[in-house]
Amino acid sequence: MVEILFFVLAFVAGVIGTVAGFGSSTILLPVSLFFMDFKTALTLVAFYHIFGNLGKIAFFRHDLNKRLILLFGVPSVIFALIGSLFIIYLPQDILKLILGIFLLIFSITFILKPNLKFSGTQKSAFIGGSLSGLLAGLIGVGGAIRGAFLTGFNLEKRIYIATAAAIALAIDITRIPVYLTNNFLSQQFFFYLPALFIIAIAASYTGKRIVDKIPQKAFKKVVLYTIAIVSIKFIFDGINLIG
């Protein structure tokens, strides 16, 4: 029963992530922590993320911006590796606290400044790629930062989704081997992977079908308030466990 609930929420998170543009990890990772420990959740969500991005690239493959993939992708991969290596040495309580703080700052920032974006320059692409890669490797939620920087290039929505997915795919390919070689995922969770693959593809397809039919501003605001509430719980949990 618990597994079924997790898979249902994974599908919902994938659809929301595609439509809102936050990335499925920003939604699914906090949800997963109600079911499992941080490192297991991080690894499973990373696999889900890579499956979903494969789906997005397949569905939006004609809309890729190769120049931006290169500008963002190179620093993203380098810093994703650095971030994933840090996890080996940090206690899970600290990681959960970092995740909570990041999600709270992220949600409040975009509630107050829903149209926040950075200038579309090579410098901002390097900074955005570096930050999003580091956060993805460390706490699995770099998509939100990547999105804020990518929007500065004023991409059409389909191009944005395809390009962001390609960059995220490169990050996932970099960080997942680090997680696996350090035994973040025990064998009892291996059977989740085929199910997550199917769910991720289905969620990406569903998101593609409804992406232009949902009022973006109201939808994003509801998602952000929900993330903020959940992040406060993680912060208090982290502080209590550390204390």
For the chain, which residues make up each domain, given as ranges? 2-242
Helix 157-181 × helix 38-59 angle, to 10°: 140
Output the pTM of the full model. 0.84
* Cβ within 8 Å of residue 164, ≥6 positions away: 21, 23, 143, 146, 147, 150
Distance CA 202, CA 163 (A): 19
Nearest to 201 by CA among 14, 63, 4: 14
- pLDDT digit string (tens) for the chain, length 243 residues: 778 899 998 898 888 877 776 667 888 888 888 889 999 999 999 999 888 788 778 877 777 788 888 888 899 999 999 999 998 888 888 888 888 898 888 888 888 887 777 777 888 889 989 998 999 899 888 877 887 788 788 888 778 878 888 898 899 999 999 999 999 999 889 999 999 999 988 887 887 777 777 776 777 777 788 788 878 878 887 777 665
* Residue indicated by tokens 């397949």: 58
The Cα 212–Cα 233 span in angstroms is: 33
